[in-house]
Chain A
Amino acid sequence: MEGWVIAIIKVVFIWVWVLLIATVMTWVERRGAAMMQDRLGPNRAGPFGLFQPLADGIKLFTKEEVLPKKAHKVLWNLGPLLFALPAFSAYAVVPFGDKIILGGKEIILQVSDVNIGFLYVLAIGSLAVYGIVLGGWGSNNKFSILGGLRSTAQLISYEVPLGLALLAVVFVYGSFSLRDIALAQQGTFLGFLPNWGVFKQPLGFILYMVAIYAEANRVPFDLPEAESEIVAGYHTEYGSMELGLYLFGEYVNLVTLSTLVVVLYFGAWHIPYIDISKFLGPVSWGIVSFLILYLKVAFFLWLFVWVRWTIPRFRYDQVMGLGWKALIPLALFNLFITALFIQLSA
């Protein structure tokens, strides 16, 4: 009885929390870009323009929905849903804090600690491509189809290095459960290095970072929606909240992927050399661990923005070349080295 109540509370909480981050992200993206480009950015709605995402949301909700002539109605409507849903549901297995003890009951800050959480994330992550392809196909627009095709090829190619990089992490920590991996990153190894994934898997970390930029369709891999080439790619024809779902799903995706980076490579809620949980009560530690985790996530979210406004975008064939000729061999090499180390040290 109580179990599922807690589960629902957790689901609602993390859903609202992720939505909140994604909303704030749209603001950060625009203000951050403006500040890098010697501009001011949106600063009219509310203090510092903080209500701008809200205004945009209202606008998107109240706009008229336009279905292009000869568009495939079912696919057209399915596209945005299929894009946004996986982004949210991937969060089901991602931990958002250590644990909290309320009324003598231990609650882990994770919707569900599945022992194959890893595979679940990968599987759900690759579902998002259907949203893009269906949206691109259903729009009955050549630019949309091009965007959808680009996206398919790109996501499929980059899923391989992503998976291989993650596999190396599994080798190191010996578990498929994201919570187990997070817990295993406490303490130090070799005497001085924190037990974080980034120090145990430096190459894997770089590969993973590159791959998630491609997975999230961000610059330099934003070809599916490269506005100067194919107008807006797969969401050229979309408007109103269907477009909103695409844009929102993208930001939710960013949050999910950034959280995964932190959980897998940046020690989740651990701070190097200090074990704060000893100094804090069970409730406050739960909250503090949550905050530490999201502070780290905030950095990676900012990194997305920062990189986006610094570098140009790839060309389609260069993306493929980078993926297949550089990242996949490197990922295999990384896997091989990791396996060798583990074998030798065992």
Chain B
Amino acid sequence: MARPVVKKKYTLGERIYLLEILKGMALTWKHFVFNVKASFRPGPHTVPTCWQYPEDRTREISPVYRGLHMLCLDEKGREKCIACGTCAKTCPAHCITVKKGKRKEGEEDKYAGKMYCASFDIDLLHCIFCGLCQEACPKEAIVLGREFELAQYTREECHLDKQKLLANYRKAKEEGKLRPPRKAVPVVPAPPKPEVKGASSKATEVKKGQVEVKKATKKAKNAEKAKSGD
């Protein structure tokens, strides 16, 4: 387990320390002069790498940014959500709860689908902003927006209910910060049909067979039970 001993070989310039230190100082000086000049420029965003954040909000945020959630309305102002619950099932953090409601007569201008969400709750304290819910949503109803200032004073404020989610959508629409429509990822086209058919039918056959066997054993067991019961 002997550790190798390394012999240091230095050139003369390296050996006397000062030369390389002076070179380094020239570099830092260059940065210093550049930044001092930049910081005297008018405008908020002077030194190229620094945003004076609360005042300077000029930094462009990606249109697909995964920030605060919202529930979208369609062009006619109807709720898109059909309360299928896919988002709740997909969520890795289990932070979404959806309750179904059935659209009544005369509510067609309010809800787009036959079902709608009676309540839609997201616990932001659990959410990890992975964006799986918006990807799973068949109607593009739930969407993660560009709003990123999520700090709140109380736990209750971190709980998004349906009204807040809709309000988020309206706010985003007002500011023109809606997420662009989802681009479908092109999927490999399905392979030629006959192969698929053969494979799938075989699989189903096997399955059927298994099921039948299971049923048979169940019947036998039941029969046995009945016998022993006697």
Partners in one complex: yes
Residues on A lying within 8 angstroms of B by beta carbon are 32, 34-40, 206, 306-307, 309-311
Q: Which of A35, A40, A206, A311 contacts B31 (CB 8 A)?
A: A35
- Cβ contact within 8 Å between A306 and B49: no
CA distance A213 to B24 in the complex (A): 17
Residue from B21, B50, B52 within 8 A of A310 (CB atoms): B21
A-B contact pairs, 13 of them (CB 8 A): A34-B35, A35-B36, A37-B31, A39-B35, A39-B47, A39-B50, A40-B46, A40-B52, A206-B18, A307-B21, A310-B25, A310-B27, A311-B21
Within 8 Å of chain A (Cβ to Cβ): is B65? no
Is A40 in contact with B25, judged by CB distance below 8 angstroms?
Answer: no
Question: Which residues of B lie under 8 Å from residue A35 when comparing CB positions?
Answer: 31-32, 35-36, 39
Query: Are A38's CB and B35's CB within 8 A?
Result: yes
Chain B's closest residue to A308 (CB) is B28
With contact pairs A306-B28, A309-B28, A310-B28 given, residues A38 and B21 touching in the complex (Cβ less than 8 Å): no
Chain B interface SS verdict (over half): helix
Min C-beta distance of B39 to chain A, whole Å = 7
Does B194 interact with chain A (Cβ within 8 Å)? no
Chain B residues whose CB sits within 8 angstroms of the CB of A36 once the complex forms: 28-29, 31-32, 35
The minimal Cβ–Cβ distance linking A211 to chain B, given in whole angstroms, is: 14
Q: In the bound complex, how far is the Cα of B32 from the Cα of A133, in angstroms?
A: 36
- Indicate whether B48 reaches chain A with its CB closer than 8 angstroms: yes
Q: Mark B15-44, 1 if CB is under 8 A from A, else 0.
A: 000100100110111011001100100000
Known: A36-B28, A39-B50. 14 other contacts (CB 8 A): A34-B35, A35-B31, A36-B31, A36-B32, A38-B35, A39-B35, A39-B49, A40-B39, A40-B52, A306-B28, A307-B21, A309-B28, A311-B21, A311-B24
Interfacial chain A residues near B36, Cβ < 8 Å: 35
Cβ contact within 8 Å between B28 and A38: no
Closest chain A CB from B132 CB (angstroms): 36
Nearest Cβ distance between residue A209 and chain B, in whole angstroms?
A: 10
Residues 157 to 185 of chain B near chain A (Cβ within 8 Å): none
Q: Chain A residues with Cβ under 8 A from B28's Cβ? A: 36, 306, 309-310
Q: Determine the residue in chain A with the shortest Cβ distance to B46.
A: A40
Residues of A within 8 A of B24 (CB): 310-311
CB-CB under 8 A from A311, the residues of chain B are 21, 24
Task: Give complex CA distance A36, B25 in Å.
Answer: 10
CB-nearest residue of chain A relative to B20? A311
Question: Could you tell me the distance between the alpha carbons of A34 and B36 in the complex, rounded to whole angstroms?
Answer: 10
Residues of B within 8 A of A307 (CB): 21, 25
Q: Which of A32, A40, A309, A311 has the most CB of B within 10 A?
A: A40
A112 to B28, CA, bound (A): 40
The residues of A that contact B46 with a CB separation of less than 8 Å are 40
* Shortest Cβ distance from residue A145 to the other chain B in the assembled complex, whole angstroms: 28
Please give, as numbers and ranges, the residues of chain B lying within 8 Å of A39 by CB-CB distance: 35, 47, 49-50
Q: For A32, list chain B residues within 8 Å (CB).
A: 32
- Look across to chain B and name the residue whose beta carbon is closest to the beta carbon of A309: B28
Shortest CB-to-CB span from A314 to chain B, Å, is 10
Give which listed residue, A34, A206, A306, contacts B29 with CB less than 8 A. Answer: A306
Question: In the assembled complex, how far is the CB of residue A107 from the closest CB belonging to chain B, in whole angstroms?
Answer: 39
Q: Give B23's nearest chain A residue, CB to CB.
A: A310
CA distance A38 to B24 in the complex (A): 15
A residues in contact with B50, CB < 8 Å = 38-40
With the chains together, A309 CA to B21 CA distance in Å? 11
The 5 A-B residue pairs with the shortest CB-CB distance, nearest first, are A35-B35, A36-B28, A310-B24, A40-B50, A310-B28
* C-alpha gap A306/B47 in the complex (Å): 19
Q: Do A40 and B29 touch across chains, with their CB atoms under 8 A apart?
A: no
- Please give, as numbers and ranges, the residues of chain A lying within 8 Å of B35 by CB-CB distance: 34-36, 38-39
Inter-chain CA distance A38–B39, complex, in Å, is 10
Q: CA A40 – CA B24 in complex, angstroms?
A: 21
A141 to B31, CA, bound (A): 39
Inter-chain CA distance A37–B50, complex, in Å, is 11
Q: Within the assembled complex, what's the spacing in Å between the Cα atoms of A39 and B46?
A: 10
Instruction: Please name the residue on chain A nearest to B18 by beta carbon.
Output: A206
Complex Cα gap A120–B28 (Å): 37
CA distance A306 to B28 in the complex (A): 8
CA distance A32 to B31 in the complex (A): 11
Distance A37 CA – B28 CA, assembled complex (angstroms): 8
**Distance, CA A206 to CA B49, complexed state (A):** 37
CB distance from B93 to the nearest CB of A (A): 35
Q: A309–B39 Cα gap in the complex (Å)?
A: 19
What's the least CB distance linking A84 to chain B, in Å?
Answer: 30
In the complex, the answer to whether A306 meets B25 with C-beta atoms within 8 Å is yes
In angstroms, Cα B48 to Cα A35, docked, is 11
**Cβ–Cβ < 8 Å partners of A38 in chain B:** 31, 35, 47-50
User: Which residues of B lie under 8 Å from residue A34 when comparing CB positions?
Assistant: 35
In the complex, A83→B228 CA distance in Å? 94
Contacts of A37 in B (CB 8 A): 31
Q: Which residue of A lies closest to B24 (CB)?
A: A310
User: Could you tell me the distance between the alpha carbons of A206 and B17 in the complex, rounded to whole angstroms?
Assistant: 12
Q: Max chain B CB contacts within 10 Å: which of A32, A34, A36, A206?
A: A36
